[in-house]
């Protein structure tokens, strides 16, 4: 009986070891938590990276909207969920997720691989306190979109890249009524924070400096407030500015009410699709022009807005899978993968080499301007309490028609209170 008992105990001891050995012999199983808006290039990237059979990638689709995506990821990451291996993150989450210990810094070889050839603005968004925590997958910057014929009529040439907001607003105001609008974000949402951050950075300032000190109550903050005030109260204002977002701006531009607009690169693909279906719209589409984001200060290059997403490795990933997860991260964000996302989903790449590709240049004639804008783009503040910061800024500068140069001091106070709580 004692011999049988000893054999049973030995068997129980060996079974887990045998199971582990069997598990390690097969491909490593990884799960990638990805947004819902790029299914085709996501499938292509997964297929390409798992072709050799060394690992598998299961895609879990996050909900629509950045806030809902963050909420789901935070809940899982804070619980050390072992299945959250690869994470697609908004570019503003890096500091919060890194500081909380929810994502892992990239090993030096992986960091070198994903950094090589990545545009400056995109790489900054993946870095926290000198360490690279993520690999830029997709990027993007806002351009100044305009009707070529109307810009000519207004006597300006945005292509030179020297146009200031003051010059743009004044020139647009001279166009006939019903055509003189400059469409910019004005609603209380993240896009308004993006706009304000770009204005302040273009004026040579920062919303929050490297030491975490708010910088809104400054000459740069007052210059940004002056631009918002001019847009909201001058002849170039669009009725309902305080409710404008990317889609309402795009609609106003396509309909001709706005002759100028700041917006992301997706507006070109959307217009091209419409022009292919509606012959009457093709004439409008053929009049599309694009240029670098306007300057705030003459002689000082603009700092365009930065968008996009990065991939990180969740800290709950078992140590036995981490090396494979970093390998997969590098593959999913390769130049080939980024080209597929750009060609199939119209989302700009984070690597410079993609913009030299003949297929990309044929489909996106604004490739050079977009590449340069991303390289020089100003990321939003890298702080742990980003959501509180963004809400404070939106509130202090809203509605746009109420903004004056003194609004910068008010916003500075609100920001200090928000980030200190």
- The string of pLDDT tens digits covering residues 358-401 is 999 999 999 999 999 999 999 999 888 888 899 999 999 999 99
Give the residue among 179, 184, 177, 187 at the shortest CA–CA distance from 199. Answer: 184
Instruction: Give the integer Cα–Cα distance in Å for 386 and 380.
Output: 9
Instruction: Name the CATH architecture for the domain at 2-133+307-376.
Output: 3-Layer(aba) Sandwich (3.40)
Predicted pLDDT at 4: 33
pLDDT > 90? residue 195 = yes
The tally of CA atoms less than 13 A away on the side-chain side of residue 193 is 20
Calculate mean pLDDT across residues 24-30. 85
Give the residue among 120, 123, 79 at the shortest CA–CA distance from 100. Answer: 79
Predicted pLDDT at 10: 38
Calculate mean pLDDT across residues 333-338. 96
List pLDDT tens digits, range 229-288.
Answer: 999 999 999 889 999 999 999 999 999 999 999 999 999 999 999 999 999 999 999 999
Predicted pLDDT at 209: 79
Query: What mean pLDDT value characterizes the chain?
Result: 91
Name the band, by pLDDT with cuts 50, 70 and 90, for residue 417. confident
Calculate mean pLDDT across residues 322-327. 98
Predicted pLDDT at 14: 38
Predicted pLDDT at 9: 35
Calculate mean pLDDT across residues 289-299. 97
Predicted pLDDT at 419: 76
pLDDT > 90? residue 38 = no
Give span(s): CATH 3.40.190.10, the chain: 2-133+307-376, 142-305+386-420
Name the band, by pLDDT with cuts 50, 70 and 90, for residue 111. very high
Instruction: Give the integer Cα–Cα distance in Å for 180 and 97.
Output: 43
CATH 3.40.190.10 fits 142-305+386-420, yes or no: yes
Name the band, by pLDDT with cuts 50, 70 and 90, for residue 298. very high
Calculate mean pLDDT across residues 44-56. 96
Name the band, by pLDDT with cuts 50, 70 and 90, for residue 97. very high
List pLDDT tens digits, range 152-169.
Answer: 999 999 999 899 999 999
Predicted pLDDT at 18: 37
Q: What is the pTM of this model?
A: 0.89
């Amino acid at each position: 009986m004692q011999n049988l008992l000893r054999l049973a105990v030995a068997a129980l001891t060996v079974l887990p070891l045998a199971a582990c050995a069997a598990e390690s012999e097969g491909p490593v199983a990884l799960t990638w938590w990805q947004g819902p808006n790029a299914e085709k290039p996501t499938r292509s990237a997964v297929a390409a990276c798992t072709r050799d059979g060394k690992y598998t990638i299961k895609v879990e689709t996050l909900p629509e909207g950045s806030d809902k995506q963050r909420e789901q990821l935070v809940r899982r990451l804070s619980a050390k969920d072992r299945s959250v291996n690869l994470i697609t993150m908004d570019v503003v989450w890096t500091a919060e997720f890194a500081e909380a210990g929810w994502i892992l810094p990239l090993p030096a070889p992986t960091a070198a691989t994903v950094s090589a050839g990545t545009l400056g603005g995109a790489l900054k968004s993946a870095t926290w306190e000198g360490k690279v925590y993520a690999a830029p997958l997709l990027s993007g910057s806002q351009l100044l979109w305009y009707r070529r014929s109307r810009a000519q009529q207004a006597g300006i040439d945005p292509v030179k890249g020297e146009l200031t907001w003051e010059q743009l607003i004044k020139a647009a105001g001279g166009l006939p009524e019903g055509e003189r609008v400059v469409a910019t974000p004005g609603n209380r949402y993240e896009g308004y924070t993006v706009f304000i951050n770009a204005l302040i950075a273009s004026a040579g300032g920062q919303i929050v400096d490297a030491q975490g000190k708010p910088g809104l109550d400054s000459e740069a903050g007052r210059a940004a407030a002056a631009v918002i005030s001019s847009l909201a109260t001058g002849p170039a204002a669009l009725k309902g500015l305080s409710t404008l977002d990317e889609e309402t701006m795009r609609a106003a531009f396509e309909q001709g009410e706005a002759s100028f607009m700041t917006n992301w690169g997706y507006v070109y693909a959307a217009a091209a699709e419409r022009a292919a279906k509606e012959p009457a719209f093709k004439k409008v589409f053929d009049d599309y022009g694009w240029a670098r984001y306007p300057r705030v200060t003459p002689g000082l290059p603009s700092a365009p807005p930065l968008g996009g997403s990065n991939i990180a490795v969740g800290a709950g990933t078992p140590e036995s899978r981490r090396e494979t997860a970093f390998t997969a991260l590098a593959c999913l964000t390769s130049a080939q993968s980024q080209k597929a996302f750009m060609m199939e989903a119209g989302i700009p790449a984070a690597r410079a080499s993609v913009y030299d590709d003949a297929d990309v240049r044929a489909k996106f004639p604004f490739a050079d301007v977009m590449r340069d804008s991303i390289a020089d783009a100003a990321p939003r503040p890298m702080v742990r309490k980003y959501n509180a910061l963004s809400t404070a800024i939106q509130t202090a500068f809203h509605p746009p028609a109420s903004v004056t140069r003194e609004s910068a001091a008010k916003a500075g106070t609100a920001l200090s209170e928000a980030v200190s709580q």
